[in-house]
Structure 1
Amino acid sequence: MSAFPASERFSMPSLLTMALRRSVKFHAIYDNDVFCGLTYYVEGKDTVYLTYLAVNKQLRGQGYGSKILTLLENRFPDKQIIIDIEPVVKSAKNYEQRVSRLRFYERNGFHRTNQMLKDSDGEFEALTTGKKFNKLGFIRDLKKMSFGFYQFKVEK
Structure 2
Amino acid sequence: MNLKLNLTNPDQPDFDQVYALYQQAFPVDELYPTDLLFGHFNDPNNEFWSIYDDEKWVGLVYCMTENDLTYIGFLAIAPELRGEGYGSAALAAVKEKYSTNRVCLLIEEVSPKYADYEARKKRFSFYQANGFQSAGFKIAELDVHYDFLVATGQSLTSDEYLSLINHYCGQDYAKVVNSHVID
TM surpasses 0.5: yes
Deviates more, 1:127-136 or 1:57-66: 127-136
User: Which residue does 2:29 correspond to in 1?
Assistant: 7
Distance in 2, matches of 1:33 and 1:78, equals: 27
Distance in 2, matches of 1:82 and 1:123, equals: 16
**Per-residue CA distance 1:57-85 (angstroms, 9 max, x = gap):** 11001111111111111112221111001
Distance in 2, matches of 1:12 and 1:34, equals: 27
Question: Is 1:154 the equivalent of 2:158?
Answer: no
User: Which residue does 1:64 correspond to in 2?
Assistant: 86
Question: Is 1:75 the equivalent of 2:90?
Answer: no
Letter in 2 for 1:52: F
- SS state of the match for residue 109, structure 2? coil
Q: CA deviation at 1:94?
A: 1.3
Structure 1: gaps of 5 or more residues: none
After TM superposition, list the pairs within 5 Å mapping 1:1-156 onto structure 2: 1-129=23-151, 130-148=153-171, 149-150=173-174, 151-156=178-183
TM-score normalized by the length of structure 2: 0.78
Letter in 1 for 2:179: F
Q: Which has the higher contact order (CA 8 A, sep 6+)?
A: 1
**Per-residue CA distance 1:69-115 (angstroms, 9 max, x = gap):** 11111112221111001111112121111111100100111001231
Structure 2: gaps of 5 or more residues: 1-22
1:45 and 1:137 in contact (8 A); partners too: no
- SS state of the match for residue 2, structure 1? helix
- SS state of the match for residue 50, structure 2? strand
2:47 and 2:62 in contact (8 A); partners too: yes
Letter in 2 for 1:127: L
RMSD between aligned alpha carbons? 1.7
1:47 and 1:134 in contact (8 A); partners too: no
**How many pairs were matched up?**
156
Percent identical residues: 26
Distance in 2, matches of 1:138 and 1:97, equals: 25
Deviates more, 1:99-108 or 1:140-149: 140-149
Deviates more, 1:4-13 or 1:49-58: 4-13
Letter in 1 for 2:49: H
